[in-house]
Amino acid sequence: MDVALDRVLTPRLTGTVAYEYRFFDFKGRLENTITHTPRLGASYRFTETITGTVSAGPTLESDGTSRTTPAVTASLSQRYGWGTLGVDYSRAVGTAGGLGRHRQQPIGRRHRAAHVVAAATGRAGRAPLHLVGVA
């Protein structure tokens, strides 16, 4: 469950307060884990086409023991007439292919095309196309 509240502070700067709750049920293979992550963040529009975002806070993990780890997300994207290009970074608690709890730190890049041609119908569409790669 995620909940967030955004507040426009200036025409270029937006602040965010967020809370994330996760329950990892490992079906008896490991202790179930609950995480709580309060976050503070901001989005800044550097130019009309370039926007950066950052969000951070502690993740409080409970699985019979308690520990705190940092949670951070950051992105930088540029909008073009044909779509958007961007890079992302995220550090979060997640799962490792169903094998157990894992602290993830992927760095990714993304491309979002604004216009996609539907080859099967021969019609042009405006459905977004997402291509995501993890480095």
What's the pLDDT score for residue 116?
40
* Winning range, highest mean pLDDT, from 4-8, 85-89, 117-121: 4-8
Nearest one of 53, 48, 36, 59 to 11, comparing CA atoms: 48
69-112 pLDDT, tens digit each: 889 999 999 998 888 889 888 887 765 554 444 455 555 555 55
- Are the CB atoms for 37 and 59 separated by under 8 Å? yes
Q: Which two tokens stand for residue 35?
A: 């995480």
Residues ≥6 apart with Cβ < 8 Å to 8 = 14
**pTM strictly above 0.85:** no
Residues ≥6 apart with Cβ < 8 Å to 51 = 43, 44, 45, 76, 77, 79
Helix (H) or strand (E) holding 95: strand 83-95
Average pLDDT, the chain: 75
